[in-house]
Structure formats: structure tokens, C-alpha cells
Structure 1
Amino acid sequence: MDPYGFPRAGQDDPADPATYYPPYFRSERFQRLGYHVQQLRGGFHWVTSGGYDAAFVVTDDGVVAIDAPPTIGENMLAAIADVTDKPVTHVVYSHWHADHIGAAAVYGPDVEIVAHRITGELLERFPDPLRPPPTTVFDDDLTLVVGGTTLELSYKGENHCPGNIFVYAPAEKVLTVVDIVSPGSVTFMHCDASQNIMGWYQAHEQILAYDFDYFVGGHHMHFGTYDDVRTCVEYFADVLDGATAAVERFSRSDELLTILDGAGWDRVFVGTENWINSMANHATKYVLEKETSTGQLWWERLAGATSQTKYHAYTVLESIRLERPRPGYRLRGENPPVFLT
């Protein structure tokens, strides 16, 4: 093990909840082909590689695909062919990140690609032949009607990244919002590598404002229900509570000086790491030891809790320090009152 890197995760972490791994995941077909497709309602279908998810809707006039993760790749076409022989006529990009649309070229050059204006601008600025730029863009809301099927596209502001949209199928009551909530798990580290954490938290409540029966989140082998989303929202509310308490305790100017003193003033960055780690560890302990609304601990309810919470804690506490309002600032003069750094 490189002494300068992260330690290897150990076998002492508890197993994920048994309910996390669906039957298809260990099936011979999935292990052989690498994808699973499932009808949610009507023409709306969910596709997964086990780590990344996408979706498509079969309409009277063709297929509308939502995203194209490289880990699914051409299996997206195979999944569609399992269901229909109709061609893909439209593609909706959730956002510009390559891990979700980096195989969009498989749909061919003749499809209409719909995305938020910011997604289009980013793909023009950073061109990628496997992520063709959109042919149709919008700013706030767009109702896409194809072959009698309606998709309501909405942009509610930056969250995971600029341009990340909500895709709602009202007749089927399916909501797709990528990289915000991963049903059944605490999602990938650092709030799914999100950029605007206040916006990301706001998106949790925006999701719950929809009337949906099925939720597609883009990750981790599960679609979800409304209750699944509420469980994830509860978890991240606890992360925010723990991180807030950690910042209030360890980011006091007097506490920070004590931590920096402990490392020595010729090793300021070591002291800084100790300061950040003190906050992350405090928040992580709070979350993992807290009894949840069901009487269980989080690792008993959501996969990944023991390994990912420390990364979420770090990201959220930095969001508190960088994005959220502060109670004050340093006052002038010698020995000023304690303030949050």
C-alpha cells in the first residue's frame, strides 16, 4: 500500500442490505450480456448495467432514449431491440457528463437530440464525437411530444452540474433525474461528484414535489419508488445535520488554532488535513451511529453507508463553509471574538 494514498477498504465493513441486490443481478443472462431491461409502465423502460442506468420510451412513432452511458453502450440498442423494432428518433440528454451520454453516437446521425441550452454550450466548448451536440435546446421548460407520448423536461437551476434536467413522463408517472438520488444506496462519493451542493440538496425537495410512482436516478442497479427517494433524502438530511455540527465545533477560530498548533507551524498543510478530517470524522460518526426513522442504522437500510458517508460528509461540510450563509466574520483588533473560519 502506498503510504501517501488512501487505505484499502477492509473486510470489516458490513455487507450491503440483502435487499439491495435484485434477482437479475446474479442471473446467468445478466452476467453474460451485461445489461437488464425492465418495463416500468406503458412504453417506459429502464435499462441498467448494474452501475449505470438509462431509459427509453416506446411511442407510436419511434423510440425516445434518455441518456447513453458508455458502460451500457451498444447494449442500449440491444435492450431497445428486446422490446421493439421501432427506430430511435429522439434522444434526451440529462446533462453533459460523459459517464451518462458518452455513447450517444450509437444512436446514429439522424436522431433529434434534446438537451438544456447549457449542455449544448458545454458540448460545443468541449467537443466529443461520441457526444454529439443537441439539435434542440431549451432554457426553462420544454414539452416533448412524440407519437402520442409526452415528456415534460424542466430545468430548475444548477445542482449536480449546470444543465442537469428533470424528465417527467406524466402518463406513466415516471421521473428521471440523474446524479441526485440513487435508490437503495447512499450513492457515489462526494454527493455523486456534484458541483453545487446547495442546489443538489434543493433538488431533493424538487424531486419530492413530483407525483411519480417510479424514479430513475442514473446509478446503482435500481429504479426506485417515491418512498425510496424519501429514504435517501432522510439520509442526506442526517449528513447535513452532522456536517453542520462538525463545522460549528471544529471551525471555530480558537479550535482551528489548537489543531494547527498540534501539527506544528512548519507543517501547516498537515494541520489543515487534521482539521478537515476532524470535521468529516465527527459528521460520519453522527450519521452512522444515529438511529433512523425506522429504528435501524443507515448501513442496515442503504448500501454503501459505511464506505461512502465520510466522503459525503467532507463535501457537505465544505459546502457549508463555501456556499451557505455564515454567522459573521473576524472583527478587527487584537484577540477578536471567536468566529467561524
Structure 2
Amino acid sequence: MSNNEKPGILPDRYGLGAAGMPYTSLSDYRPIPPNATGSLFLPDRLEKGYHVEELNDGVFYLTSGAYDCMFIATGNGVVAVDAPPLLGDNILRGIAEVTDEPVTHAIYSHWHADHIGAAGVFGQDVTVFAHEYTREMLERWPDMGRKNGIPLPTETISTSQSIAINGVTIDLDYKGVNHAPGNIFIYTPKQKVLAAIDIISPGWSAFKHCDASENIRGWAEAHDWILEYDFDAVVSGHVNRWGTREDALASRDYTWDIIDFAKQAFDEVDDFELVERIGFSNGWVLWEDYFNDMTNYVTKQTLTKTTDNGQTWAARLAGADVMTKYHAYSILEALRLEWGLLSKFERTITGD
């Protein structure tokens, strides 16, 4: 039986062969560690499609089991932080479950639709805080904003600003480009809760290509920015549980292991036999094989490393065996574009 005929694997229905993406199945990867499932199988989430819990003193965590956000009950109005479409109207249901306060304010972490696309459920009269870049994007592409009912930001920041809403202090911090330009950190210092969206995924590897980040180096640095805060809980936007400082440390160490192994690959992998085998007639084939070989080197080193708790990353972070190759590829490319480094292969060709 061929690979495409194995049970649980889709056939090559488009006939693309090597030009297409391969299909895999659950049996190709490790089982998910029990501590990574978080709210996914909780009775209330299975029944209602969402789970809500108080993190500390009026700050709540709300998740669909795939996307999450937070909200703050101030005593005289709710401040909603993000509005993922996979929660949709369940955002209002989750809020109503714990308070009868109306949503008076919203904060957008960044402009990506998967995190704010349902903000129209708050109505058009809410006061909305966001980075000025987020407003620019929503104005530039109306289908991302007004046409879909997403209220435009009414208050924008460019760097960092502390705001007080009904006596609750919320720090809005922009430390520079990371996952996306304008992606801000939202922190409640009294409650010690941080929303840092699309950087870590507690208990999991991030989604492929460093969570589809627009700047890989900034995304990697943002792991250290998270750890500058004094927090007891971090809301990350994904996957199905809120995170701890231990989760943030693990994600940072995993990320920097990939970076270190990628730098190592730049110095050690040359693969000049590829030139002899492939030649230069189709440079993309040569480049694909070279980068794929370096990606496999980095993936192997990362997944088999014994980490500080005695586990490998493959065993420690759910989905690491699925996603590490994508992170490795993106980081290898970022070493060229955002770190300004050349691989051994390139240095030899150019004589550097």
C-alpha cells in the first residue's frame, strides 16, 4: 500500500506530486500530552462551545478550545481584549455568564482578523484602543474592518500607555515589531495578568512558521519581552489553556534552540553535492533541496535535544513534531533577511 493509500491519509487528489504539499495523519505524530489539552475536553466547553474562568480579581479567560481572549469586569463596564471569530457570539455569552455589565471598551492586540474579526458583536459605540498601525490597516482595507462590522479604533497609541477604566489600570505596551507591526501587550498590573497574542502557545509549539509572523526576529525577541512582566497568567490567543511563567520559559527556550541550531546549520551544512546532482539550470530546485536539508538538520537537533526537565522538545511541547520543521525553515530564512547572515554554501560561492 502506498503512502497516499494509508488509512487516514488523503490521496493526492490534485495530482501535484512533488509540486504539492504532503498529507499526514494522527498516526504519523506523537500523542498530545494530557496537560496540553487544557479546556478542550471540559464538560462545559463540550456542551456550550466555550469555557470561561476568572484568572484574578475580575480578569477572565475565555476560550473556544482553539482560540482564546480575555475580558475585564471593572464594576461599571467590561473591557474586552480581542474577539476571535471562532468564539463569535460566545464572547457575549461567556461575559454574561459571569457579569451583567455591558461591554463599554475593547482593546485590539493587533489587526489580524483571526483575533479581532468578531468585534462587531460589541456594537459600534464601544471605545476601542489599539496601536495606530492597527487602525491604519483597518482603514486601508475596509473589508477587514467596517464592512465586517469591526469597530474602528477610537483611541490609538504609538509606543506604550497606561489607561485607567473605572479605576482598573491597564498597561498597553508596544515594544516594536514582533508577530505583526502594532502587536501590543496588554497587562493588568494589579491582577498580574498579561495578554501577549501570537507569541507563545502554552503547552504547545506555536503554529507553523512562527505563528505566521510578519517579522521572525521580532517574534523571537518577544519571548523575552513577555518574561519582563510580573505575571501569574498569560493569555496567548491559542490553543486551549492560559499559560504560566514556566510555559513562557519553555516556549522561549524552544524558540532559541531552533535559532541556535539554525545558526549551526549555516556554519556546518554545505551540501555541495547538490550542485553536482542538480546543477544550476533550475535554481529553485537547488535552493529548495539545500534549505530542506538544513531544515531537517535543525529539526532533528531540536526534537532530539534533552531539555532542562529531562524531556525532549518532541515530548515536552504538544505538536512540536508537527511544527518544528516550519519554524526551522522560517528562522533559517530570517537569518539571511533579518540577521544579515550568509550560509556556508553562500559564503563559499561569494568568497566571503
Per the shorter chain, which TM-score range? over 0.9
**Alignment counterpart, residue 151 of structure 1, candidates 160, 170, 177:** 170
Alpha-carbon contact 1:54-1:66 (below 8 Å) kept: yes
- Quote how far apart the aligned CAs of 1:122 are: 1.0
**Alignment counterpart, residue 204 of structure 2, candidates 172, 181, 185:** 185
**Alignment counterpart, residue 65 of structure 2, candidates 47, 50, 54:** 50
Alpha-carbon contact 1:262-1:271 (below 8 Å) kept: no
Alpha-carbon contact 2:299-2:324 (below 8 Å) kept: yes
1:237 aligns with 2:256: yes
> What residue number does 1:281 align with?
296
> What residue number does 1:213 align with?
232
> What residue number does 2:8 align with?
none
Q: 1:223 to 1:329 in 2, by over 3 A?
A: closer
Q: Specify the code of the residue in structure 1 equivalent to 2:198.
A: D
Q: Can you give the 5+ residue segments of structure 1 that lack an aligned partner in the other structure?
A: none
Residue by residue over 1:82-132, the C-alpha shift from the partner in whole angstroms, topping out at 9 and shown as x without a partner, is 011110000000000000000111100110010001111111111122322
- Quote how far apart the aligned CAs of 1:136 are: 0.5
> What residue number does 1:126 align with?
141
Q: Specify the code of the residue in structure 2 equivalent to 1:125.
A: R
- Quote how far apart the aligned CAs of 1:258 are: 3.5
> What residue number does 1:266 align with?
281
Moved more, 296-305 or 266-275: 266-275
Alpha-carbon contact 1:179-1:192 (below 8 Å) kept: yes
1:161 aligns with 2:161: no
**Alignment counterpart, residue 33 of structure 2, candidates 10, 14, 17:** 17
Q: Write the distance in 2 (CA, Å) between the matches of 1:336 and 1:172.
A: 56
TM-score for both structures, normalised by structure 2: 0.90
Alpha-carbon contact 1:260-1:272 (below 8 Å) kept: no
**Alignment counterpart, residue 268 of structure 2, candidates 243, 249, 268:** 249
Q: 1:81 to 1:209 in 2, by over 3 A?
A: same
- Quote how far apart the aligned CAs of 1:29 are: 2.9
- Quote how far apart the aligned CAs of 1:301 are: 1.1
| Number of equivalent positions | 331
Q: Specify the code of the residue in structure 2 equivalent to 1:57.
A: I
- Quote how far apart the aligned CAs of 1:226 are: 0.9
Partner SS, residue 114 of structure 1: strand
Q: Write the distance in 2 (CA, Å) between the matches of 1:318 and 1:265.
A: 20
**Alignment counterpart, residue 324 of structure 1, candidates 333, 339, 342:** 339
Alpha-carbon contact 1:49-1:72 (below 8 Å) kept: yes
Q: Specify the code of the residue in structure 2 equivalent to 1:16.
A: I
Q: Taking every aligned residue pair, what percent have the same amino acid on both sides? A: 44
Q: Can you give the 5+ residue segments of structure 2 that lack an aligned partner in the other structure?
A: 1-10
- Quote how far apart the aligned CAs of 1:267 are: 3.2
- Quote how far apart the aligned CAs of 1:325 are: 3.4
TM-score for both structures, normalised by structure 1: 0.92
Q: Write the distance in 2 (CA, Å) between the matches of 1:91 and 1:221.
A: 22
Partner SS, residue 26 of structure 1: coil
- Quote how far apart the aligned CAs of 1:7 are: 1.7
Q: 1:171 to 1:295 in 2, by over 3 A?
A: same
